[in-house]
Amino acid sequence: MIAINQVSSLRDGVVQYFEASRLIRVVAYLVLFVGSQSIYAAGTTTIIFQPELWPQADQRAVLDPVEEARIDQLIAQMTLEEKVGQMTQVEIKFSKPADLTKYHIGSVLNGGGSWPNNNAMSRPEDWIELADEYYAASTSKKKGRLGIPVIWGTDGVHGHNNVVGATLFPHNIGLGAGNNPELVTAIGRATAIEIAATGIDWNFAPTLAVARDDRWGRTYESYSEDPQIVASLGDALVIGLQGADLSELRDDPATVVATAKHFVGDGGTLAGDDQGDTFTSERTLAERHALGYVTTLNNDVQTVMASYSSWRGYKLHGNEYLLTTILKQRMGFDGFVIGDWNAHEQLDGCSKESCSLAINAGVDMIMVPEDWRGFIRNTLRQVRSGEIAQSRVDDAVRRILRVKLRAGLLDQRSLPRPDVSWIGHPQHRAIARQAARESLVLLKNAADILPLDPNSKVFVTGDGADNLEMQTGGWTVSWQGTDNKPEHYRGSTSILQGIKAEVASHGGEVVFSASGEAPKDADVAIVIFGETPYVEMKGDREHLVFSRFNSRPLRQLAALRKQGIPTVVVFLSGRPMVVSDEIELAEAFIAAWLPGSEGAAIADALFARDGFNFKGTLPFSWPHTEQQKVLNFDDEFYMPKYPLGYGLRTRLKRSH
């Protein structure tokens, strides 16, 4: 479809920005950025935008005339109610299938921790049943209306993670450590199959954030602080989810629509504030934070989610320059922009139920989970009064229909879905296990203690050893990944279980106690600890010093050293943290990130099962001290404890 060239023609765009209500903030920013970007004069802020910094759409890109004619025909027949309905996305907890018929609603989502019948234990058949009900309601031609099929979106950010029994892949930070694009494509493919098997059409992934301040609670959703890694793995996932080209997306029922999110600069906010302000130059925004959009657009990603965050004080959801001038016009994005969860209400003059500003800025489909009735009513009024131009509505609807058409939704819904037996299928678990194994980064291996001999007496300890919550992290069945019950992890294997199986098969012995004492004759202790789960909004931290959140592991490590038992630490976390003292006290230290459902992967590496050696390299710079809150590979003064790309290999002692 659209190919993008890195072009830098010298065409300056000067856009008048008049925003009285934001003046004070803007002035404050101007003081900081004096002279570089903006000129302040007599109540008008003139920001000199530089569209030439952004890649330009390849002029060869063409829309399919047959498809476009079909869309024209549909649009010509649609009432305003049908059009506004297409632009509205509602949540399954706050809507009934019949609402789709009545209000012509174009899309539904299930948010994190939202399941059919509000039941976490819903079976795949329950998901299919609900998807079929929504589909039937959306296509009902009652009253002679058009019946345009619904598109259902979900957050399958590490597998189809809202569904009990699905394969849970490592979170993106671990995939960044593995840095294996072919494997990420396989993960995308497996995820698409599991999503499609439940009747869902669209995945809100990949996250293309380039997290630059690891205090941000979504750092683990970022592949890397290095835009190149983000771009390469983001592409790989899109290819896996959507197929290699648009014909696969249309013809293969085992593909789903992908989402590049969150456009743009979500990972660059000041102090790592979630939904905060990315106060960077346009060049940094374009070259660092947007690189993944350039490449995924090249791979035909069909939807882009706008970010909650701001760029220099201005919220993305109201940012016509970035959403329309840059993303759609300059970069040539011809799919549709989806808003984030109620994000439009954060714009001045907007509420959950009303936001012409976001639509006018270029958001095509608004995620209005709960208050969609009022939203539809207000939007209709705003179009009728001219507050929203009819042409803007038609453009939004055209884009939505284009994606539905390209995804085959307008034609081939009757094709057989992948069988539900694919959910948590052993083949998918094997991919997840490989990905988890490759994500492990060996930071220290004193006296070549690794690989361990499975035919020995192994003491396993730490609250992460037998803890599927910690191992899988947020966005797992529930939204925050907390308050889950053991049955919510059906099919998952804990790290402890994996160690036990490996040691038992070689005649060794495992003694486990999460916090107790080691047997005196233990040959080695494996100490597994780290962060407890969190997601957006709740995961931000003031500092990254691990022992100030949990000092028990330090004491345990000290006690084991006193006993003379060598220790291997497996650290579970959504980001690098300051663990210099813990590293000092351990013989070996492994950054394991959030490895997912296949805990046996850890034993594979610790015991060099089948000759496996560590492969992972740091996707984020690792700090020494508390002061290194913002630490990135391209800093002018770069003195990390371990740099980006660091990762040891062991000297394999023997083969199994």
Catalytic residues: 340, 536
Shortest distance (Å) from residue 114 CB to ligand BGC: 5
Per rule CB under 6 A, is residue 481 in the interface with ligand BGC? no
Shortest distance (Å) from residue 481 CB to ligand BGC: 12
Q: Which two tokens stand for residue 77?
A: 């027949």
> Of 204 and 589, which has the nearer Cβ to ligand BGC?
204
> Of 78 and 343, which has the nearer Cβ to ligand BGC?
343
Shortest distance (Å) from residue 35 CB to ligand BGC: 35
β partners of residue 304: 260, 337
Span of 31-39, 109-117, 420-428, 521-529 interacting with ligand BGC by CB under 6 A: 109-117
Q: Which two tokens stand for residue 61?
A: 């890109």
Span of 106-114, 286-294, 349-357, 546-554 interacting with ligand BGC by CB under 6 A: 106-114
Residues 6+ apart with CB under 8 A from 414: none
> Of 318 and 616, which has the nearer Cβ to ligand BGC?
318
Residues of span 350-379 touching ligand BGC by CB under 6 A:
none
Per rule CB under 6 A, is residue 113 in the interface with ligand BGC? yes
> Of 282 and 469, which has the nearer Cβ to ligand BGC?
469
Residue 123, amino acid: R
> Of 339 and 362, which has the nearer Cβ to ligand BGC?
339
Per rule CB under 6 A, is residue 111 in the interface with ligand BGC? yes
Relative to beta strand 588-591, strand 524-530 is: unpaired
Determine contact, residues 502/476, Cβ cutoff 8 Å.
Answer: no
Per rule CB under 6 A, is residue 438 in the interface with ligand BGC? no
> Of 97 and 113, which has the nearer Cβ to ligand BGC?
113
Task: State how far the Cα of 98 lies from the Cα of 105, in Å rounded to an integer.
Answer: 10
Query: Looking at residue 292, what DSSP letter applies?
Result: H
Per rule CB under 6 A, is residue 274 in the interface with ligand BGC? no
* Residue closest to ligand BGC (Cβ): 111
Shortest distance (Å) from residue 524 CB to ligand BGC: 41
HSE, side-chain direction, 13 A CA sphere, residue 622: 28
DSSP per-residue letters across 385-433: HTSS-HHHHHHHHHHHHHHHHHTTTTT-TTSPPPPGGGTT-HHHHHHHH
Residue from 99, 340, 466, 469 touching ligand BGC (CB under 6 A): that is 340
Per rule CB under 6 A, is residue 114 in the interface with ligand BGC? yes
Shortest distance (Å) from residue 221 CB to ligand BGC: 8
Residue from 536, 582, 598, 604 touching ligand BGC (CB under 6 A): that is 536
Task: State how far the Cα of 552 lies from the Cα of 558, in Å rounded to an integer.
Answer: 10
How many residues belong to the site for ligand BGC (CB under 6 A)?
Answer: 11
Residue from 51, 85, 106, 112 touching ligand BGC (CB under 6 A): that is 112
Which phi and psi angles does 461 have, rounded to 5°?
-150, 175
Span of 108-116, 292-300, 393-401, 620-628 interacting with ligand BGC by CB under 6 A: 108-116
The beta-strand segments (E) located in 273-415 are 277-278, 303-306, 310-311, 314-315, 336-338, 366-367
Which phi and psi angles does 614 have, rounded to 5°?
-60, 145
Angle at which helix 65-77 crosses helix 390-406, to 10 degrees, equals 130
DSSP per-residue letters across 150-197: PEEEE--BTBSTTSTT---PPPHHHHHHH--HHHHHHHHHHHHHHHHH
Residues of span 193-212 touching ligand BGC by CB under 6 A:
204
> Of 68 and 345, which has the nearer Cβ to ligand BGC?
345
Shortest distance (Å) from residue 188 CB to ligand BGC: 16
Per rule CB under 6 A, is residue 479 in the interface with ligand BGC? yes
Site string for ligand BGC, 144-163 (x = CB under 6 A): -----------x--------
> Of 364 and 587, which has the nearer Cβ to ligand BGC?
364
Shortest distance (Å) from residue 276 CB to ligand BGC: 13
Q: Which two tokens stand for residue 113?
A: 């921790």
Per rule CB under 6 A, is residue 341 in the interface with ligand BGC? yes
Shortest distance (Å) from residue 216 CB to ligand BGC: 12
Per rule CB under 6 A, is residue 222 in the interface with ligand BGC? no
Determine contact, residues 201/106, Cβ cutoff 8 Å.
Answer: no
Which phi and psi angles does 380 have, rounded to 5°?
-60, -45
Determine contact, residues 518/560, Cβ cutoff 8 Å.
Answer: yes
Per rule CB under 6 A, is residue 300 in the interface with ligand BGC? no
Q: Which residue has the tokens 């029994």?
A: 165
β partners of residue 590: 442, 570
Q: Which residues bind ligand BGC (CB under 6 A)?
A: 111-114, 155, 204, 261, 340-341, 479, 536
